[in-house]
Amino acid sequence: MYPIIFISAFILLVIISNIRIVSQSNAFVIERLGSYNSTWATGIHVKIPFIDRIAARVTLKEQVADFAPQPVITKDNVTMMIDSVLYVQITDPKLYTYGIINPFNAIENLATTTLRNIIGELELDETLTSRDMINNRMRIVLDEATDPWGIKVNRVEVRNITPPKSIQEAMEKQMRAERERRESILKAEGEKQSAILVAEGQKASAILKAEAEKAAVILQAEATKEAQIREAEGEAQAILNVQKATADGLAMIKSVNADEPLIRLKSLETLQKVANGQATKIIIPSEIQNLAGLVTGITELVKK
């Protein structure tokens, strides 16, 4: 009775001990009697005791391979240190297990060789400005080379490019000179723009001043013209008034039926008023001269 219980317990213990649970993003490579048998995916599995063996436990997650800086030589014989980072993922656990010994060491050596080949075709300036091209070429070459190993290279990133110290100093001097050149250009552009603005301001001021002077001259000319017009109108009005007064006087004389002797007498009185002024020469009309002779004759007859 006890041997049967013992044997049953032993068989149950062996079965339980050979139950395996494969977690997410993992895979088990199973060998049976020394040769590849199958690949266990996520889930529960039972292997045959003493016959099946778990040859490898493989993670299917993306992994980061960070390699130490490697010395490389550019096309123009400049030695620099470059370190890169690879993002890889195992796509076939069987090929990864049986394809090559120490796959990540092989990838590191392959990445170093590929990087040196690519950099050897570029000059220093191209190397410093062509990281995207370098990353893309390395990814293509490494992905093709690692495909038989069950590994996919998703991304390659050149992290640091370190030129020699002398090259760094020369580059710093060049950058400093470039910054000083740009500063000089900006300063010159600023001074030029300032001079242009000052000249435009002076031009605008001169134009406004000339326009103001022109407007003042025009206003003065218009004022003078207006004054002359008003003066002429005044003189014309005075002439009209004199002519009107003369006409009124003539009309008045005519209305009282003045005879010729009376008119001549009034003329003589007018001449007397004229003689009281400062005039040194008086022109006497012939009618008044005749009248004067007549008056003189009358006076002499009265005296006799």
Q: Are residues 48 and 125 in the same domain?
A: no
Structural contact between residues 142 and 181, judged by C-beta atoms closer than 8 angstroms: no
Range of the domain at 15: 2-59
pLDDT at 91: 92
Among the candidates 110, 134, 163, a domain finishes at: 163
Q: The whole model's pTM is what?
A: 0.55
Please, which residues have CB within 8 angstroms of residue 161's CB and are 6 or more apart in sequence? 80, 81, 82, 127, 128, 131
Among the candidates 111, 128, 163, a domain finishes at: 163
| Higher pLDDT, residue 131 or 286 | 131
Q: Are residues 28 and 81 in the same domain?
A: no
Q: Count the domains in the chain.
A: 3
Q: Are residues 41 and 8 in the same domain?
A: yes
| Model pLDDT for residues 88-114, shown as the tens digit of each residue | 999 999 999 998 888 989 999 999 999
What is each CA distance from 271 to 83, 163, 283, 291, 300, in whole angstroms?
A: 134, 127, 10, 12, 22
Structural contact between residues 49 and 31, judged by C-beta atoms closer than 8 angstroms: no
Q: Are residues 28 and 70 in the same domain?
A: no
Q: Are residues 118 and 47 in the same domain?
A: no
Q: Is 53 left (phi over 0), alpha (psi -120 to 50) or beta?
A: beta
CATH number at residue 139: 3.30.479.30
Main-chain phi, psi angles of 158, to 5 degrees = -80, 115
Among the candidates 163, 188, 214, a domain finishes at: 163
CA distance 235 to 227: 12
The answer to whether position 180 is within a domain reads no
Arithmetic mean of pLDDT over the chain:
81
Q: Are residues 8 and 49 in the same domain?
A: yes
| Model pLDDT for residues 223-282, shown as the tens digit of each residue | 888 888 888 887 878 777 777 776 776 666 666 555 555 555 555 555 555 555 555 555
What is each CA distance from 226 to 73, 172, 223, 233, 280, in whole angstroms?
A: 96, 80, 5, 10, 39
pLDDT at 12: 79
pLDDT at 7: 78
Burial class (CB in 10 A: 0-12, 13-18, 19+), 196: exposed
